Amino acid sequence: MNIDNIVIIGFMGSGKTTLGTMLSEYFEYEFIDTDDCIEKNAGMSITEIFEKYGEEYFRELEENTIKNVSQKRSVIISTGGGVIKNKNNIDNLKKNGIIIFLKANAEKIYNNTIDFDNRPLLNTADRRGTIEKLLEERTPLYEKYSDIIIDVSSMTVDESFEAFVHIIKKYYAK
Ligand code: S3P
């Protein structure tokens, strides 16, 4: 099977990095997490970038990173949840890849993120409300920009992985 880049988009805490890592092992593709690239290049964490320079600057770093990694071939790319805020990112990612939206409901996202404080946008007084509001704003964009949607809201990690592999194989068998 000859597949191009597999790009995973979706909300914070939907499991993009976990699944991306599993898929990279399965398909023997290099795994790239764009947030990791941003942190390595900046020499600081996402939280520090937001604190010191603000979200706008983070989005510039994100756009540059996406532009670079989009040029690669045969890689699995896990993106930050806000990647869909900038259409240039999507245009770049689509050049060599298919885009898969890993869809998860607010409940799952809340449970997956509650033990972590490494996502500046969720460090609000009302995390649940913030998740719901952002999900409402962003879901139409994730849906619009993706080639494939997988709703993992009621799936375990293993079930999500199985579903992913099945759907990717089916997509390329067309
Ligand atoms: C963000 C998601 C984060 C990270 C940054 C902003 C967002 O990535 O890029 O905190 O705007 O949704 P994850 O989706 O990997 O948590």
Q: Pick the residue whose CA is nearest to atom 3 on ligand 1.
A: 80
Cα 79 to ligand 1 centre (Å) = 8
Please give the residue that has the higher pLDDT: either 168 or 173: 168
pLDDT in tens, 63-75: 999 999 999 999 9
11-44 residues labelled b (16+ CB within 10 A) or e (exposed): bbbbbbbebbebbbeebebebbbbbebbbeebee
Q: What's the pTM?
A: 0.96
pLDDT in tens, 99-141: 999 999 999 999 999 999 899 999 999 999 999 999 999 999 9
Return the best residue to mutate from 16, 35, 63, 138 for the ligand 1 pocket (most ligand atoms within 8 A of CB).
35
Rg (the chain; Cα; Å): 15
Answer left, alpha or beta for residue 103, where phi above 0 means left and psi between -120 and 50 means alpha.
Answer: beta
Report the chain's terminal Cα–Cα distance, integer Å: 11
Cα 119 to ligand 1 centre (Å) = 6
pLDDT in tens, 3-39: 689 999 999 999 999 999 999 999 999 999 999 999 9
